[in-house]
């Protein structure tokens, strides 16, 4: 991906902040979005403190962040997702929207994927914002690993799904700023319903092995 302005809606949460850190370090202009512009600016300040003030990171409310950007990551909890995306739909229209949302449930037997009427969070976003180009990606990276890493997460892959080949290529290139290699095209957008709940398996693995697991795909030509 050439240098872009990337909004991270939900960028005050650990996953969003970790992604924002890597994008900023790679030279992208990053706008953290939150319901509260103040909390967004706090997260931006944390990233600047971490990476150095030369990086271009600021915080705005979600609407302002989306308006400022040409690519928008949605990194919010599933609870409240539909309302949030619906409210932002007018400003999301026409943009590249990258859904990183994992609709998961938790009970005493562990994490599991929730039934989603649209199939997946990414497909829900596409339904709510038909004029956006929606891509699903960045579902499986550990928030803690993202925040702690001084360089690429070289043992992990980003799987990218979407109906627009150009948009997937942009996101695959953006993924390389995090893993050191391009994201992998996993198929059309409906496959997001496979990627999102796979995170439940990783969470179960993390608990079972007391680790931070990640996914990689073997057999991809360099």
Is position 123 an interface residue for its own copies (rule: CB under 8 A)?
no
Least distance between its own copies and beta carbon 105 (Å): 10
Measured CA to CA, the distance from residue 173 to residue 218 in angstroms comes to 19
Nearest to 112 by CA among 143, 161, 157, 78: 78
Is position 112 an interface residue for its own copies (rule: CB under 8 A)?
yes
109, 122, 127, 171: which one binds its own copies (CB under 8 A):
109
Is position 212 an interface residue for its own copies (rule: CB under 8 A)?
yes
Q: Which is nearer to its own copies, 59 or 182 (CB)?
A: 182
Would you give the distance in Å from CA 24 to the centre of its chain? 14
Q: How many CB atoms lie within 10 A of CB 51?
A: 15
Residue that has been written with the tokens 């956006």 in this structure: 132
Residue that has been written with the tokens 């695959």 in this structure: 172
Least distance between its own copies and beta carbon 115 (Å): 10
53, 130, 151, 209: which one binds its own copies (CB under 8 A):
209
- Do the beta carbons of residue 188 and residue 163 sit within 8 Å? yes
- For residue 60, the cross-strand partners are 33
With CB under 8 A as the contact rule, which of the stretches 10-18, 30-38, 87-95, 185-193 interacts with its own copies? 185-193
With CB under 8 A as the contact rule, which of the stretches 34-42, 54-62, 72-80, 214-222 interacts with its own copies? 214-222
Nearest to 141 by CA among 198, 219, 72: 198
159, 172, 175, 178: which one binds its own copies (CB under 8 A):
159
Is position 217 an interface residue for its own copies (rule: CB under 8 A)?
yes
Measured CA to CA, the distance from residue 19 to residue 124 in angstroms comes to 22
**The two structure tokens encoding residue 88:** 């932002």
Least distance between its own copies and beta carbon 32 (Å): 27
Least distance between its own copies and beta carbon 216 (Å): 5
- Write the CB contacts of 216 (distance below 8 Å, at least 6 apart in sequence): 155, 156, 157
Which residues of this protein are in contact with its own copies, per CB under 8 A? 109-113, 142, 155-156, 159, 161, 184-188, 190-191, 193-195, 197-198, 200-202, 204-206, 208-209, 211-221
């Amino acid at each position: 991906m050439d240098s872009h302005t990337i909004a991270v809606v939900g960028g005050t949460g650990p996953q969003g902040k970790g992604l924002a850190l890597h994008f900023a370090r790679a030279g992208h202009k990053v706008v953290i979005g939150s319901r509260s512009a103040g909390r967004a600016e706090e997260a931006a300040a944390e990233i600047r403190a971490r990476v150095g003030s030369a990086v271009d990171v600021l915080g705005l409310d979600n609407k302002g962040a989306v308006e400022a950007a040409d690519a928008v990551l949605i990194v919010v909890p599933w609870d409240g997702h539909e309302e949030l995306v619906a409210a932002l739909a007018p400003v999301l229209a026409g943009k590249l929207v990258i859904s990183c949302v994992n609709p998961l449930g938790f009970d005493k037997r562990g994490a599991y994927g929730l039934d989603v009427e649209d199939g997946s969070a990414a497909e829900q976003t596409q339904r709510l914002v038909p004029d956006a180009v929606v891509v699903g990606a960045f579902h499986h990276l550990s928030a803690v690993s993202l925040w702690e890493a001084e360089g690429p997460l070289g043992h992990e892959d980003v799987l990218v799904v979407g109906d627009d080949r150009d948009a997937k290529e942009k996101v695959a290139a953006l993924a390389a700023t995090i893993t050191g290699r391009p994201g992998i095209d996993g198929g059309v957008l409906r496959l997001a319903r496979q990627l999102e709940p796979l995170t439940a398996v990783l969470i179960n693995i993390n608990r079972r092995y007391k680790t931070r697991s990640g996914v990689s795909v073997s057999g991809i030509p360099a």
